[in-house]
Amino acid sequence: MGKFFEITRKLSNQMRSRRRVVITGMGIVSPLGCGIETSWKSLLAGKSGVVKLEGPDYEKLPCKIGAIVPKGDKPGELNLEAKFTKSELRTMCRATAYALIAAEEALIDANWRPDNENDRQDTGVAVGVGMIDLVDVCTMYETLKNSYSKVSPYFVPRILPNMAAGQISIKYGFRGPNHCVSTACATGAHSIGDAFRFVRGGETNVMLCGGAESCISPLAIAAFCRLRALSTSRNDFPHEASRPFDRSRDGFVMGEGSSILVIEELNHALQRNAKIYGEILGYGLSGDAAHLTAPSEDGSGALLAMDRALKDAGCEKTDVTYVNAHATSTPLGDTIELRSIEALFGEHTSNVFVSSTKGAHGHLLGAAGNLEAAFTILALKEGIIPPTINLHDLDAESTPLNFVPNVPKEWPITERRIALKNAFGFGGTNACLCLAEFRE
């Protein structure tokens, strides 16, 4: 009898692990505009969200540009004061505000606003923030020097990385997993991957997942400049500064924003007649174990993450025809990632397309992997591969990979469109998502 129960338990676990997970809603706040349609159209049109940063404190810095969310009341722009009360804004940092706005759009898009307790208990949140706003810390320290009583009681909640997830959970009463990872520039992809495992494993049926970032300030720009990570050669031509894979690239452009996905178990989505954007098939993680800020030179960390995502998905290398690269526009990072992609696909490399949308929206740090995952999902659904803008002189000799410079390409017809989405972070942390066109 004991052996029977053991076999039953194993079969049950195997069935739970094979639960299919689909994407049913998305929300975007990005340098390309606010809203799914605005951002996607801007990306396909080759627009850039990189602008000159205003203020005297930036003038003395080597980098004077950034990719910021457009502010205002016009379509695609954002007015935080119109979205939140003053008292609400005191409780949250800007990244949390972006996450709340993206979450609202995603829930509306998914038509998922449960009003009964069972559904709320069955909905979780996994949203991370890569880096706190240093302005908050500096401002409050100056306040403390003048008066202890003026230190805000909301200071700690404003700087905790899990407060975007917490605020979303509180606002909508979601009582499933309340989860946050903060893994530098892999944060958004790790958040989606962890949420995927929660749903696939049967812990919950619905998850809101993604990341948010808003840390552009003179101090943050100065710090990344000291790391020699940022582009400094095109301050007068900001739209041209972020140029992944281009021979003249000289660093990334810091960006801000948020993207939130609603993912759910397939049968749950079908039972409520939800629209389905695509499916998450697999998730891979790895560590470089090499350097604080630089990727391992042989590309082994990225290769491991991609290979593990494929194995987790049960896919063959030949099934994949597009890689949405992490490529940030740094001389070292882009080259190493291409090397790892070629090593992974081998003879199949000539059938693989590669692009990095960071040319258009810059590098959103902790919100990079999730924003780019959203664009990859739209690419899968519509059969259009988004371009790498500012790619005019490819820095890759004799590579058989297919690049997508400056204009989008139609996705060649395949049995099923399947893509990998890479995201890598300081400390040698790597994530890869295997995403696919939905086939019932």
Active centre residues (catalytic): 185, 326, 363
Task: Supply 74's token pair.
Answer: 């016009």
Q: How far apart are CA 27 and CA 129, in angstroms?
A: 16
Q: How far apart are CA 268 and CA 274, in angstroms?
A: 9
Helix 218-226 / helix 134-146 crossing angle, nearest 10 deg: 120
What separation in angstroms does the CA of 356 have from each of 125, 202, 350?
A: 27, 33, 18
Q: How far apart are CA 436 and CA 244, in angstroms?
A: 24
Inter-residue contact 107 to 113 (CB < 8 Å): yes
Task: Kindly tell me the sign of the dihedral angle through the C-alpha atoms of 231, 431, 98, 112.
Answer: positive
Helix 187-200 / helix 368-382 crossing angle, nearest 10 deg: 60
What is the three-class DSSP state of 240? helix
Task: Supply 243's token pair.
Answer: 């140029």
Query: For the chain, how many residues are written?
Result: 440
What separation in angstroms does the CA of 222 have from each of 62, 239, 393?
A: 8, 20, 29
Task: Supply 320's token pair.
Answer: 């994949």
The 10 Å Cβ neighbour count of residue 410 is 9
Range 335-349 burial, b when 16+ CB lie within 10 A, else e: bbbbbbbbbbbeeeb
Inter-residue contact 437 to 419 (CB < 8 Å): no
The 10 Å Cβ neighbour count of residue 82 is 7
Element (H or E) spanning 229, and its range? none
| Long-range CB contacts for residues 341-346, cutoff 8 Å, separation at least 24 | 341/302, 341/306, 341/401, 342/399, 342/400, 342/401, 343/299, 343/303, 344/303, 344/306, 344/307, 344/317, 345/317, 345/320, 346/317
